[in-house]
């Protein structure tokens, strides 16, 4: 493994993945590893189950580095050809991602793919705080990239947003959202986004993606009542779609999922976007030709629903 890594570094075939333990970042690492290139996987810690999984992959080096550490990033990005940049929503997100961009430019990286957020609320005056963060990041990227090519990906509604169902409300026989049962979205598995990003990084000519904001969605357009029906089918017991208010959802996200208040408020804005039909973007043609998303919500539920705690009466 070490010899392979040294060879990749010498040939300029090293790749850097920021946010490597997340749902999207970890899949980028896996796909790059499968392709035979060397990967520097950035994590906040060098320990933990998710880090251990990445360490076992061929050609992967764990880089424990805080994205606020400019000197650490400068060192980590030496010898790197291309970068995938994803960062969890945080108050410091804009500065963290800008630090990676600046370090990539300084290191002479040729290509960077950034995982953006919903394009509809990525703007300077967005009511969504992390939408304003992403606007700042993307403005900086466009102005500061120099010779480095870049692309921003905008995924639709992530299937993993429903982990709150799995570990929250399913034991009580419901999924609970500030939506009507007929509200719908086009869902995407984060792993499909990771597959696409890895293929883009490996492309011998990333110039065809340069400066583009590209959409990603999966094959399913589902209403929330249809999602409840899929849970019912998988679990073999009735799961209903229940409507709550946005303040009720925010309170549950803070108490049950550990969201900070600002993040719960920002995330709740997604439901207005869904009610307005804003999560129905289709995948950009360039990405359909490259690595079309194929994973369905039925498959995702089959994978995750069995991990949900049993109903209270069955405990």
DSSP 206-242: GGGGTTEEEEE--SEEEEHHHHHHHHHHHHTS--EEE
Q: Please, what are the averages of pLDDT over each run of 10 residues along the chain (315 residues)?
A: 55 86 98 95 93 95 96 96 96 98 98 96 95 98 98 97 96 98 98 98 96 97 99 98 98 94 96 96 96 98 97 72
Cβ(234)–Cβ(305) under 8 Å?
A: yes
Residue 277 has a CB neighbour count (10 Å cut-off) of 10
The answer to whether residue 284 sits within a structural domain is no
The DSSP symbol for 165 reads I
User: Among the residues of the chain, which ranges form H helices?
Assistant: 2-10, 23-35, 49-55, 70-76, 93-106, 129-144, 163-164, 190-202, 224-235, 246-257, 261-275, 285-290, 297-304
Cβ(194)–Cβ(30) under 8 Å?
A: yes
pLDDT at 127: 94
Tokens describing residue 280: 């129905």
Tell whether 29 and 174 lie within a shared domain.
no
**Cα 140 from Cα 216, distance rounded (Å):** 23
Tell whether 44 and 59 lie within a shared domain.
yes
pLDDT at 306: 96
Give the strands of the sheet with 38-43, arranged side by side. 60-64, 38-43, 14-18, 80-85, 111-115, 149-155, 212-216
Q: Give the distance, in angstroms, between the CA of residue 243 and the centroid of all CA atoms in the same chain.
A: 26
Q: Are strands 111-115 and 80-85 parallel, antiparallel or unpaired?
A: parallel
The number of folded domains in the chain is 2
Tell whether 67 and 174 lie within a shared domain.
no
The DSSP symbol for 154 reads E
Helix (H, G, I), strand (E, B) or coil at 271: helix
Domain range holding 265?
160-186+219-279+294-314
Tell whether 199 and 170 lie within a shared domain.
no
pLDDT at 313: 73
Tell whether 164 and 232 lie within a shared domain.
yes
Tell whether 52 and 136 lie within a shared domain.
yes
pLDDT at 195: 98
pLDDT at 76: 96
């Amino acid at each position: 493994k070490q010899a392979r890594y040294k060879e990749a570094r010498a040939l300029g075939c090293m790749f850097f993945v920021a946010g490597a333990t997340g749902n999207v970042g970890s899949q980028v690492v896996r796909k790059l590893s499968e392709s035979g290139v060397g990967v520097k996987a950035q994590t906040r810690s060098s320990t933990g189950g998710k880090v251990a999984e990445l360490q076992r992959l061929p050609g992967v080096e764990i880089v424990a580095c805080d994205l606020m550490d400019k000197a650490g990033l400068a060192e980590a990005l030496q010898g790197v050809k291309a970068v995938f940049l994803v960062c969890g929503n945080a108050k410091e997100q804009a500065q963290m991602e800008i630090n990676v961009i600046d370090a990539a430019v300084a290191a002479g990286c040729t290509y960077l793919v950034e995982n953006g957020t919903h394009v509809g609320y990525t703007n300077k005056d967005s009511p969504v705080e992390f939408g304003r963060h992403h606007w700042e990041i993307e403005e900086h990227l466009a102005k500061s990239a120099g010779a480095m090519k870049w692309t921003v990906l905008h995924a639709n509604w992530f299937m993993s947003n429903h982990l709150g169902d799995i570990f929250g409300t399913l034991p009580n026989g419901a999924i609970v959202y500030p939506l009507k049962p007929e509200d719908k979205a086009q869902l995407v598995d984060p792993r499909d986004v990771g597959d696409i990003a890895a293929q883009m990084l490996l492309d011998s000519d990333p110039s065809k993606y340069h400066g583009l904001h590209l959409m990603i969605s999966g094959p399913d357009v589902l209403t929330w009542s249809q999602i409840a029906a899929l849970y019912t089918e998988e679990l073999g017991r009735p799961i209903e779609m229940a409507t709550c208010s946005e303040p009720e959802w925010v309170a549950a996200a803070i108490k049950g999922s550990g969201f900070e208040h600002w993040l719960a408020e920002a995330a709740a804005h997604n439901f207005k976007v869904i009610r307005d039909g804003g999560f129905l973007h289709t995948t950009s043609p360039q990405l359909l030709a490259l690595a079309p998303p194929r994973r369905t919500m039925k498959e995702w539920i089959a994978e995750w629903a069995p991990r949900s705690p049993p109903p209270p009466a069955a405990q």
